Amino acid sequence: MNKHFLNGLILGIMMTFILSSILVFSEDLKDTIEVVFNSVNLEVNGEKIKIDNILYDGTTYIPIRKVAKMVGKEVKWDSKTRTVSINESKNDDKVENSKAVSSKINKTEEDPNEIKFNEKGLENIVRKMINKPSGKIYAGDVKEITKIVFPNPENEEDVISDIEPLKHFTDLKEIELNNHKIFDITPLKDLKNLEKLSLNSNNIKDIASLKNLIKLQELHLSRNKIENISDLEGLKELKVLALNGNKIIDLKGIENLNGLQKLFLSENAIKDISNLEKLINLQVLYLYHNKLTDITPVGNLKKLRNLSLNNNDISDIKVLGELTNLEKLVIKNNKISSISILSDLKDLKILYLRGNNIKDLSPANEIFSQLIDKDFELKTSEN
């Protein structure tokens, strides 16, 4: 295709017309503006301009105000004399003006409502949810989404590591993205409507971004790399907290979560559980595979129905006699020698106690018949 050139001096800059494009060279700023037009559309540096009657009487008209602003000029219209005046910008600082214009020229102006996805995994999920297989996705497209659930991706291309786009999903109430490669959860910090968040088996270490999500009722962060949980102390609505398989030593802050009903802290490095004694509404508590020796604080948790303490260094379990609502007790693989407290646990239905130093199982006689699951047998006397 042959190219035809037409040069002209407009607004103090040299304009070169190339077919349906105009390349504008600014001698002062040494920048280029590209104006692309046809009979119905107009773009300046990739930015679409909405304007009526671009084509009139066989002539295509370019909105000079838009082009002028791109090079730091001001366009004024005098309705009395019906004349246009083009002046220098009021900003006398040419350096700053140059920077501003250069920024406008070299970078297409972005729509703040457009949601950019860096990975196909999350993008594909969202596109299916909004039934939009192609095209740009905007905040308005996702405003009705209240739940995103996509655990256990089968293909590598579906694995999510970047959740930056989720900051636009302000009405989300539930997120479940287990078994991905997420490490930065700061995009969640303003999702104030979240009630359930499940990010098990990811690469999360810092959970400070969650401290203001005060509507959270369930938080599942098992099998991550979390060490510090003090940022959770303000989440007073939490009913379920799962932190199994992390690197937690200190339980500071958890004492404020007195609405908790289920707490999972297994497979950590916890030695001291004194922070738990105020969690009087707990019904389920898992502390297996830690470094516990003293379980005295557990005696204050009278509502406990399910308690798992296996694989620790516990020898004294007298305090468990106070937990008369217990239905399931797992104390296997410890250093326990006496189980005399079992006679007090009238509601017990499940009991695991192998791997201890227990010689006398007779205290289990009173409850043995009511056990529906157990890992031991009682010897019967022979006649």
The pLDDT tens digits of the residues spanning 93-125 come to 444 444 444 444 344 456 778 999 999 999 999
**What type of residue is 155?**
N
Q: Is residue 272 part of a domain?
A: no
pLDDT, residue 378, reads 86
- Tracing tokens 């004294």 back to the chain, one arrives at 316
Residue 186, Cβ neighbours under 10 Å: how many? Answer: 13
Buried b (16+ CB within 10 A) or exposed e, 167-184: ebbeebbebbbbbbebee
**C-alpha torsion sign, points 90, 94, 97, 101:** positive
pLDDT, residue 163, reads 98
- What is the edge-to-edge ordering of all strands in the sheet holding 218-220? 147-149, 174-176, 196-198, 218-220, 240-242, 262-264, 284-286, 306-308, 328-330, 350-352, 373-374
pLDDT, residue 26, reads 40
Answer for the pair 137, 116: CB distance below 8 angstroms, yes or no. Answer: no
Residue 376, Cβ neighbours under 10 Å: how many? Answer: 14
pLDDT, residue 303, reads 98
Residue 325, Cβ neighbours under 10 Å: how many? Answer: 15
- What is the edge-to-edge ordering of all strands in the sheet holding 47-48? 5-10, 13-18, 21-25, 32-37, 42-44, 47-48
What residues of the chain score a pLDDT lower than 70? 1-110, 380-383
pLDDT, residue 379, reads 76
Q: Is residue 81 part of a domain?
A: yes
Q: Is residue 278 part of a domain?
A: no
Q: Is residue 15 part of a domain?
A: yes
- For residue 323, what is the DSSP state? -
How far apart are the C-alpha atoms of 320 and 324, rounded to whole Å?
8
pLDDT, residue 61, reads 54
Q: State how far the alpha carbon of 112 is from the alpha carbons of 43, 118, 169, in Å.
A: 19, 16, 14
Q: Is residue 202 part of a domain?
A: no
Run of H or E including 56: strand 55-56
Q: Is residue 324 part of a domain?
A: no
Residue 19, Cβ neighbours under 10 Å: how many? Answer: 11
Q: Tell me which residue range forms the domain holding 91.
A: 5-106
Q: Is residue 330 part of a domain?
A: no
| Single pTM value for the model | 0.72
| Percent of the chain at pLDDT exceeding 70 | 70
In angstroms, how far is CA 75 from the centroid of its own chain?
46
How far apart are the C-alpha atoms of 84 and 97, rounded to whole Å?
22
Q: Is residue 94 part of a domain?
A: yes
pLDDT, residue 254, reads 98
pLDDT, residue 99, reads 45
Domains of the chain: total: 1
